[in-house]
Amino acid sequence: MVGYSQAVSENPETAPAPSKLGSLSARSEKSDKAKASKKKSVAEVQKELRDLSKPTERPPVDMKKIYLRVAAVLAILWIAAIFFHNNIGFAIAGVLTVATAGVLYWLKGYFAKAQKLGALLSNADTDEGRKKALETLDTEFKKGDTQAVLAKAQLLMQENPREAQAVLEGVNLDKQMAPVAAQVRAMRAMIHLTFGEVKEARSLSDQLELGKQQEPKTRAMFAAVASEAWARTGEGQKAVDTLDLFNPEAPDMAEMKAQIWRARAFAFAAVNDMKGAGRALRKLSEINPHLLGMFVGQKRIHPMLEKEAKNIVMKMGVVPRKMVRQRM
């Protein structure tokens, strides 16, 4: 290939001017960087969505401590029965001992399964990993296992929310423990909100009892889902008041940060506080600009909220993905 200086010396009339060539080179380099930046952004979005879907990592339950505490209580009952030499006392202590043993056996299995599922989900951070995890859930767990169903839905929500919805709708909520039924309702409501089906989401959200959730992140997640449903069905102030109880910037809310800011955007728009809505949108754009795609071109989005999202997107020079899904 002929170098630039050689080309000029051989044909000075037809050679491009150095400044023009430099400009073209700069534009080409800028274009390449823009393309690379765009590819990187898509990868970042995919990583963000995978991170949002990961379950909260909790330390394993110390069953030994539970056994010791229960044994201490039962020992007191037996000592009291022996001391008073009361047949009724012996009967009560015996029944409680047998019942407690059964409950402890069930708890041991429940926590062991939860740990296994948690490890399975934490390793499903690639397409191949998710595929293997889904196969494991289908082959190594019973069909009606609610814990496995919830794990499967979490994985499916990343690529096929409608399939995840169908899986969750197959759970008979009347036969589940209250915490499990609540989690299923929250996940179903979240999917409905993603597709703009606010009435269905509202119906499910109204059954969530936020005050009974002891785990902070679960309570925050339920509040975010319910508040978005309320805001999009005419109860914006209720949504604002509920979300004011949670600080999305708090360190312990890092996993829920995007979802809380999303809910806040809808809540502020519902009470016509576009300054607050704009701040929520900017916070989302700081997490990832493509998260604003959930407000553009979707069903049942407040027109001023969509307009503000578009303005931020245009200023940033980012083309949002048509739909960005969030998970639990």
- Where residue 252 sits, what CATH number does that domain have? 1.25.40.10
Range of the domain at 305: 173-328
> Hey, is 176 helix, strand or coil?
coil
Nearest to 170 by CA among 191, 156, 188: 188
Alpha helix ranges (H) inside the chain: 4-10, 18-53, 63-84, 87-122, 127-140, 146-156, 161-169, 178-194, 198-205, 216-231, 236-243, 257-270, 274-287, 303-316
The per-residue pLDDT for range 36-83, each reduced to its tens digit, is: 444 444 444 444 444 444 444 455 555 677 767 777 776 777 777 777
Sign of the Cα torsion 239, 245, 250, 256 reads negative
Asked whether 77 and 99 are in contact (CB, 8 A), the reply is: no
Is 93 among the domain residues?
Answer: no
Q: Which residues contact 100 (CB under 8 A, 6 or more apart)?
A: 70, 74
234 contacts: CB under 8 Å, gap ≥ 6: 270
Inside any domain, residue 166: no
In the predicted model, residues of the chain with pLDDT beneath 50 are 1-57, 321-328
Q: Return the CA Rg of the chain.
A: 28
In a domain, 287, yes or no: yes
* pLDDT reported for residue 220: 92
The answer to the question of residue 6 being in a domain is no
The verdict on residue 153 lying in a domain is: no
Report the alpha-carbon distance of residue 65 to residue 68 in Å, rounded: 5
Q: CA 189, CA 197: separation in Å to the nearest integer?
A: 9
Whether residue 55 is contained in a domain is answered as: no
Q: For the chain, what is the domain count?
A: 1
Residue 184 within any structural domain of the chain = yes
The DSSP letter of residue 292 is G
Q: Which of 320, 78, 88, 114 is nearest to 215 (CA)?
A: 114
Q: Would residue 15 count as lying in a domain?
A: no
Residue with tokens 């390449």: 32
